Structure 1
Amino acid sequence: MDKFDKHILSILQQDCTAAVSEVAAQVGLSTTPCWRRIQAMEKSGVIRGRVALTNAEMLNVGLTVFVIIRTNQHNPDWLNTFAKIADEFQEIIEFYRMSGDVDYLLKVVVPDMKAYDHFYKKLIDKASFADISSSFAMEEIKYTTALPVDYLP
């Protein structure tokens, strides 16, 4: 990865709908070499996909909840089962295995508290946890899907 690739990634992370010719002009390449670089990054997995970012409020999922899960089951079978359960819930948009006092962290989006209560009851019905607690986001201060490219070698 060189400075051109980093610049291309920065541009595409801000707007993946930009025409290759626009990206090429911004990075100082002609269209064909720029397109080849994009294709190579897609093939290698650096670019995993291209998506549309949507407005949570307009999709009526404006309540963001961070669900902290602790379990006394620390084995691959439990994790695989729980991962499959999490896949069944469209409300779970992020899922992490953590270090420290927390075992798993879920980011959940729902319309309101009543919808979260319904989600919570379905979740605890499907899996057993040692402890589960929730924190509700009051305000989104920063949100981005763009990853830093300055750490690339």
Structure 2
Amino acid sequence: MTNQIDKIDHAILAELQKDATLSVDALSDRVALSRNACWRRIKTLESAGIIRKRVALLDADKVGCPLSVLVMIRTDHHSDAWRSDFAIAVEALPEITAAYRMTGDLDYVLKVQLADMAAYDRFYKRLTSRISVSDISASFVMEDIKDTTALPL
């Protein structure tokens, strides 16, 4: 489907990335397409998995988790069982908003949202009680310069 995305699909996706609450009528006006044709294209993009879901983006400060933390993990364990346990731990800890397996010096990087340093300490203890790591460190975000979910189209 990726090769079949045309300029109109790009326009639809760009508008939905800005505001997924747009009605089909408003969206069709913005991309100069009839309502029915716009709706069909959205359904096709959803069926193809290009639009994975529509969500509300929350203000971390206003919901009580203003502290963004990048947690860097190195492990000596690379077995299927350890990776499975790690994935289960990641899913079980709602503070983890993103988890990446890396190349290079680090094995994993987690993005974590928390209320404060005390919450980080509790998170750290819960995480390390679930999985064995050889090294774990954290960097605390001082300023969000850019934080977006929009993909470049």
Q: With the length of structure 2 as denominator, give the TM-score of the two structures.
A: 0.96
3-state SS of paired residue (1:66): strand
- After TM superposition, the structure 1 = structure 2 runs for residues 1-150 of structure 1, keeping only pairs within 5 Å, are 1-149=5-153
CA distance in 1 between counterparts of 2:9 and 2:52 reads: 15
Deviations 1:31-83 (A, max 9, x none): 00000000000011000000000010011100000000000111222111100
CA distance in 2 between counterparts of 1:11 and 1:90 reads: 29
Percent identity over paired residues: 49
3-state SS of paired residue (2:15): helix
- The two structures, once aligned, show a CA RMSD in angstroms of 0.6
3-state SS of paired residue (2:85): helix
3-state SS of paired residue (2:64): coil
Q: Which piece of structure 1 moves more, 72-81 or 90-99?
A: 72-81
3-state SS of paired residue (2:68): strand
Large movers: runs of 4+ above 6 Å: none
CA distance in 2 between counterparts of 1:80 and 1:97 reads: 13
Q: With the length of structure 1 as denominator, give the TM-score of the two structures.
A: 0.96
3-state SS of paired residue (1:41): helix
CA distance in 1 between counterparts of 2:132 and 2:148 reads: 33
Tell me the amino acid that sits aligned with residue 74 of structure 2: R
- Which ranges in structure 1 are unaligned for 5 or more consecutive residues? none
Tell me the amino acid that sits aligned with residue 26 of structure 1: R
- Which ranges in structure 2 are unaligned for 5 or more consecutive residues? none
CA distance in 1 between counterparts of 2:51 and 2:79 reads: 32
